Structure 1
Amino acid sequence: MNRLLYPLVASALITIAPFLITFENGQDIVRGIFGYSEFALLLLFVWVKVGACHPERSVKREVEGSRAVKVLRIAAMGIIVVAMLVVAFMDLSNLLAIKGWDMSWRAVVPVATCGLAVTMMWKIPAFSFPTINLIVFVSLVFHLAAYNFYPAQPVAQFPVVEYLARTAPKPVERKVLREEFKAKYAVMDTAIVTPGFLDTTRSNVLVLVESWGIPLDNQAFDAELQIFRDVGFAEGKDSDGFGRMQVGVHSRMYSRTRTAEREDLVYSLRRDSVTRRRDTTFTPNVLAGLGYETYFFVGLDSAVQWRHKYIRNIGFKNVNWGTGCKDECIVQKMDSVLNATAVGLSYDSAGGDSTQARKVFAAWTTTESKFPLKDVDPYRISMADLEVLYPAAIEKTLKRVADLARKHPEVRFIVQGDHEPILSPLPFQERFYKRWTPYVVLN
């Protein structure tokens, strides 16, 4: 029992002493009872000093007596002591960083406590190496189990983890919108915004723009919105809604196109109070029940994002796939649908006869700005190239949408981004807010 008690007490000494010399009345600092790293290093120190060789074997005795092994053992012990000192200094610096104090004379404390700990362990019998592994593992499990029951007092302290977390480079805050941004644009902290903008008195078009996120640079976002203004849209322009533009941002649950596509098509969510099962009603099904013709457009194969498994099931009667049909081709098809409705006809994607005029609900997922960008090697693209190619792709897509919406002022357009450019290189991703996307409502 003493063999285990001594390293526990020694590691507790190294951990508690810095806490005591920095203690102030009223402070709220949660600390473990013993240092986990120091505890493991002390067990290893004794094993290297005493138990690395087994004297009961004659061959081992010969090896133990060799000068080379003694030198290696002394060197290993020195490395362990230095590692212990480094951990102790990390622990002290973590506390001083919280207080905002300098190290100064307090640097003596880690040296003194580590020296006392080594002295305490000098004549303690060693555990075998497998036993040390077991003790360290059980200690970690015990700490985690106890922490679940009583988090106010952890059993172990992990100074190395705390030090790395404190000193590691802090990424740009991307999940929280800046105050000046929230003051300028409407912010909705929900993934489902489409139902609030639907107009059931006329046709509606839902556009999901691939990889359209919100830049951290407000001017870059305003430049994207200028594309709509340049074709005649403005916030609160006309009382009847024609030429009017409403801009805002909303959150996403995940940075995935498939999830965003489904979120935008959700009409309502209900959870059974007994079974807790979720019942989802989708917009295409609801509008189809109101007499709408429903269309889905995407210039990709039906297997991409597994759309073939759910697009028709959620209410789309007319589905237009096409690996050879890019965004400009999709715009022409949608224009035909809206033109046919405007002149008293309904468009049949299979080329059938015209029927009585009906309102239309069309959903289009764009592909122009999909990563990897077309004709570009995703593994060799430079930041300089991305700064040109990505805005150009977004601009081209938004210009197509703006022109189509301006051509059909009788149709409500709801334009949203699916996610930030999540498949771009990490330095480029960090220029955008995470899981926040824009929406623009036209007409």
Structure 2
Amino acid sequence: MKKSQKISFVIFIAFVSFAVVFSYLIKAQFIKEPDKPWHMQFSPSEDSLSVDYIQQYKLLDKQRLVGKFSDSSRITVTILVDAWGVPFESSLLHEDFAAFDGLPHKEYLHQRLANRTRHAELVELRIHRGALDSVNFNDSVISSGIYLFGGDSLEYGRNFYIDSLNYGKHIFCQKCADSVIANILDSVLTAAEGDSASLVKYVAWTTQDSRDGDRAKLRVTLRHIADVARKHPEVRFIVQGTHCPILGDPRIRRESFARWVPALVIN
């Protein structure tokens, strides 16, 4: 290679290196990444639970609750209450939990890593095979699992991913109120408990009525759940929020901690 060619090559390499570094600096300084939707933006303090909460409740990590609290000797019902978050004002949560007064239960705060119902369903409701969990189910039990839902089964692609939860039977009551699904749950449990040959060990339900963060609707749903639990004292109920409120009035979302949901275990 001639001397002039070497010089040209060095100049070319220097120019390319400068162009790469310059474009990076320009992008970093002037090109702003798109903002996340408002319901996915959190302030640093929103995960810092108050002293009141820390002192009053046991905190549970991100691990799925069925692995901690299922009882293989009885039917386990896992209920995800949509948009039930932990409010900044602790008295509101006390009033929520009051729906279960008189029932044998324990109250918790549970860590949730994402504010999407789909995430909660995939983490909390999936029935695992083999040694993936402390609660394992054979194929016959898995095929008898029942999943209940009263919303639009096509929304958010639920009809595509729900099969991955490994329930043998899906009961979709299109756009049915939580009161209707609570009655269906009661019927399912009554039939399973009355049939000595029943293999039903695992039932799940994702509620819908409180998805807009309305606390009055939420408490109605909680009372429906409590009523069913009172009728079936031999059934273990694991009840928890899906995520903090993210729909409806934006102010509602700012009234709850971003990564915590209430949870309780009944019976």
TM-score bracket, normalised by the shorter chain, equals 0.7 to 0.9
Q: 1:280 to 1:418 in 2, by over 3 A?
A: farther
- 2:59 matched to which residue of 1? 187
- 2:244 matched to which residue of 1? 420
Q: Is the 8 A contact 1:267 1:283 kept in 2?
A: no
Aligned counterpart for 2:25 among listed residues 132, 141, 153: 141
> Using CA pairs below 8 Å that are at least 6 residues apart, which structure has the higher relative contact order?
2
| 2-structure distance, mates of 1:283, 1:316 | 18
| 2-structure distance, mates of 1:363, 1:315 | 11
| 2-structure distance, mates of 1:190, 1:363 | 19
* 1:401 and 2:252 are equivalent in the alignment: no
* 1:367 and 2:208 are equivalent in the alignment: yes
* 1:291 and 2:141 are equivalent in the alignment: yes
Q: Is the 8 A contact 2:57 2:107 kept in 1?
A: yes
| 2-structure distance, mates of 1:171, 1:315 | 36
| 2-structure distance, mates of 1:288, 1:321 | 25
TM-score w.r.t. structure 2 length? 0.78
- 2:234 matched to which residue of 1? 410
Structure 2 unaligned spans of 5+: 1-17, 30-41
Q: Is the 8 A contact 1:291 1:358 kept in 2?
A: yes
| 1-structure distance, mates of 2:132, 2:146 | 17
SS at match of 1:311: helix
Aligned counterpart for 1:214 among listed residues 82, 86, 89: 86
- 1:70 matched to which residue of 2? none
Which of the two has greater helix per residue?
A: 1
- 1:237 matched to which residue of 2? none
- 1:319 matched to which residue of 2? 170
| 1-structure distance, mates of 2:141, 2:157 | 28
What one-letter code is carried by the residue in structure 1 that aligns with 2:113? M
* 1:250 and 2:134 are equivalent in the alignment: no
Q: Is the 8 A contact 1:250 1:438 kept in 2?
A: yes
Which protein has the larger Cα radius of gyration, Structure 1 or Structure 2?
A: 1
Aligned counterpart for 1:332 among listed residues 165, 178, 183: 183
How much has 1:391 moved relative to structure 2?
Answer: 1.6
* 1:259 and 2:143 are equivalent in the alignment: no
SS at match of 1:174: helix
| 1-structure distance, mates of 2:168, 2:229 | 23
- 1:301 matched to which residue of 2? 152
SS at match of 2:152: coil
Q: Is the 8 A contact 1:369 1:394 kept in 2?
A: yes
Aligned length: 236
Q: Deviations over 1:234-280 (max 9, x none)?
A: xxxxxxxxxx20110111111000001111024679xxxxxxxxx99
- 1:196 matched to which residue of 2? 68
How much has 1:307 moved relative to structure 2?
Answer: 1.9
TM-score w.r.t. structure 1 length? 0.49
